[in-house]
C-alpha cells in the first residue's frame, strides 16, 4: 500500500510532474488534489518535486520555482477549484464535482433562505441576477463594508454555495465570483457526503481515519465511516487507517 500511494500520488522524484498537461491529467485521475501539501490528499506542488522559489520558503516563496503559476493555469483550462476543505481550496475533477453537487446546491438554497444571514442572502441573490461578477464590484454594489464582505465570502465559499476564480484584468488579478448552480446548471442524479468521502479516500489511496472525518466542510461522523466500511465502500486494513477496496 505505501508503494502504491507513493506511485499514484507521484511522491518520488522519478514520478515528478513535468508539464501543465501532466498536472491536468493528475487532477482528473485522482479527483481531488490540493495545491500545497496539507493532508493525505494528493498535492500538486508536492508532485512537482521542484525547489522553492526562495530559500527561506515563506509564503509564496515556498511555491515551486518555475511551476508556481500552474494553479491559475489549471483553472483557465476549466478545472474547478473550490474551498471545500473547511475553507481551503482543492481542485476537483468533473466526476467529484458531481458528487459534491447536492451538498453545494443544498447550501446555496440555505443561503437564499437567509439561514446564513442577510448579507449572504443578498450576495447570492445579486449573483443570481447579475451572473459571474468581480468580488470588488459585488461588495461595492451591495454597499458591504470590507470586513463584512470578507466574512460572507468565507462562509459561502467553504460550503461551495459560491466559487471564486482568479481572472486577469489588464495588469492586475481579481476574484470573479459565481454561484454553484451557474457552474453546474443541471443537478446531479446522485452524490452526497458518503460519495465525497469515498472519492477522497480513493484519491489519497490511504488516509488516517480521524483526518478523513474532518477533511470536508461537512464533517463525517464515526458512525458514518463505520457504515461505509460495513457496506464495503471503505476498508480498514489496520486500526485507524482507511483505504478503498
In a domain, 212, yes or no: yes
* 203/3 Cα distance (integer angstroms): 15
Do 87 and 154 touch, CB atoms closer than 8 A? yes
Distance, first Cα to last Cα, the chain: 12
Question: Length of the chain in residues, anyone?
Answer: 245
Do residues 155 and 220 share a domain?
no
Residue 59 in this model has a pLDDT that exceeds 80: no
Burial 18-28 (b: 16+ CB within 10 A, else e): eeeeebbebbb
Number of domains in the chain: 3
Task: Answer yes or no: are the C-beta atoms of 33 and 11 closer than 8 Å.
Answer: no
Looking at 92, 123, 145, the residue that finishes a domain is: 92
**Angle formed by the axes of helices 193-204 and 94-112, to 10°?**
140
pLDDT digits over 94-137, tens only?
Answer: 999 999 999 999 999 999 999 999 999 999 999 999 999 999 89
β-strand partners of 33: 91
* Residue-level pLDDT at 57: 63
Instruction: Give residue 2's pLDDT.
Output: 61
Instruction: Tell me, yes or no, whether 188 lies in a domain.
Output: no
- Read off the CATH number of the domain in which 143 is found: 1.10.10.10
Q: Using DSSP, state whether 162 is helix, strand or coil.
A: strand
Question: Which residues span the domain enclosing 19?
Answer: 2-92
Residue 52 confidence (pLDDT)? 83
Tell me whether residue 9 is in a domain. Answer: yes
- Domain contains 75: yes
**What confidence score (pLDDT) does residue 1 get?**
60
Q: Please tell me whether residues 141 and 221 are part of one structural domain.
A: no
- For the cut 80, the answer to whether the pLDDT of residue 206 exceeds it is yes
In 3D space, the residue among 107, 110, 126, 121 whose CA is nearest the CA of residue 192 turns out to be 107
Residues 22 and 41 occupy one common structural domain: yes
| 85 and 8 assigned to the same domain | yes
Q: Which of 70, 92, 114 is the last residue of a domain?
A: 92
Both 9 and 88 in one domain: the answer is yes
Q: What are phi and psi of 88, to 5 degrees?
A: -100, 140
- Segment 164-171 mean pLDDT: 83
Q: Are 102 and 191 in contact (CB under 8 A)?
A: yes
- Do 11 and 57 lie in one domain? The reply is yes
103 with 145, same domain? yes
Share of the chain above pLDDT 90, in %: 82
| 168 has pLDDT over 90 | no
Evaluate whether residue 159 is within a structural domain: yes
pLDDT score at 84: 97
Q: Is the pLDDT at 30 greater than 70, yes or no?
A: yes
Give, in order, the Cα–Cα distances in Å from 89 to each of 36, 81, 136, 190, 209: 9, 6, 20, 23, 21
Residue 24 falls inside a structural domain: yes
- Residue 175's φ and ψ, nearest 5 degrees, are -100, 130
Instruction: Specify whether 136 is located in the same domain as 154.
Output: yes
Residues 61 and 122 in one domain: no
81 in a domain, yes or no? Answer: yes
pLDDT at 122: 95
Query: Are 83 and 19 members of one domain?
Result: yes
108 shares a domain with 40: no
Least trusted range by pLDDT, from 87-96, 160-169, 210-219: 160-169
pLDDT of residue 171: 75
* Domain boundary residue, one of 133, 152, 183: 183
Mean pLDDT of 64-82: 92
- Within 8 A by CB and 6+ apart from 139, the residues are 146, 149
Query: d(Cα 140, Cα 190) in Å, to the nearest integer?
Result: 38
Report whether pLDDT(150) > 70: yes
Rounded mean pLDDT, 195-208? 98
Q: Is residue 130 part of a domain?
A: yes
User: Are residue 21 and residue 55 in the same domain, yes or no?
Assistant: yes
Select the more confidently predicted residue: 42 or 60: 42
Amino acid at each position: 500500500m505505501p508503494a502504491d500511494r507513493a506511485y499514484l500520488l507521484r511522491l518520488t522524484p522519478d514520478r515528478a510532474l513535468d508539464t501543465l498537461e501532466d498536472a491536468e491529467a493528475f487532477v482528473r485521475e485522482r479527483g481531488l488534489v490540493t495545491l500545497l501539501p496539507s493532508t493525505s490528499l494528493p498535492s500538486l506542488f508536492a508532485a512537482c518535486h521542484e525547489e522553492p522559489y526562495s530559500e527561506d520558503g515563506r509564503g509564496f516563496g515556498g511555491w515551486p520555482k518555475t511551476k508556481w503559476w500552474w494553479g491559475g493555469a489549471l483553472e483557465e483550462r476549466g478545472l474547478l477549484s473550490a474551498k471545500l476543505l473547511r475553507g481551503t481550496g482543492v481542485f476537483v475533477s468533473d466526476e467529484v464535482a458531481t458528487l459534491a453537487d447536492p451538498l453545494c446546491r443544498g447550501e446555496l438554497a440555505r443561503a437564499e433562505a437567509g439561514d446564513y444571514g442577510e448579507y449572504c442572502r443578498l450576495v447570492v441573490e445579486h449573483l443570481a441576477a447579475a451572473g459571474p461578477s468581480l468580488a470588488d464590484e459585488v461588495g461595492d454594489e451591495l454597499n458591504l463594508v470590507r470586513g463584512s464582505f470578507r466574512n460572507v465570502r468565507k462562509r459561502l465559499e467553504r460550503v461551495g454555495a459560491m466559487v471564486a476564480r482568479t481572472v486577469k484584468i489588464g495588469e492586475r488579478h481579481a476574484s470573479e465570483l459565481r454561484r454553484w448552480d451557474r457552474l453546474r446548471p443541471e443537478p446531479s442524479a446522485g452524490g452526497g457526503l458518503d460519495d465525497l468521502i469515498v472519492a477522497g479516500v480513493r484519491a489519497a489511496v490511504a488516509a488516517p481515519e480521524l483526518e478523513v472525518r474532518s477533511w470536508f466542510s461537512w464533517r463525517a461522523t464515526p458512525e458514518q465511516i463505520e457504515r461505509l466500511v460495513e457496506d464495503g465502500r471503505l476498508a480498514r486494513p489496520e486500526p485507524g487507517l482507511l483505504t478503498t477496496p
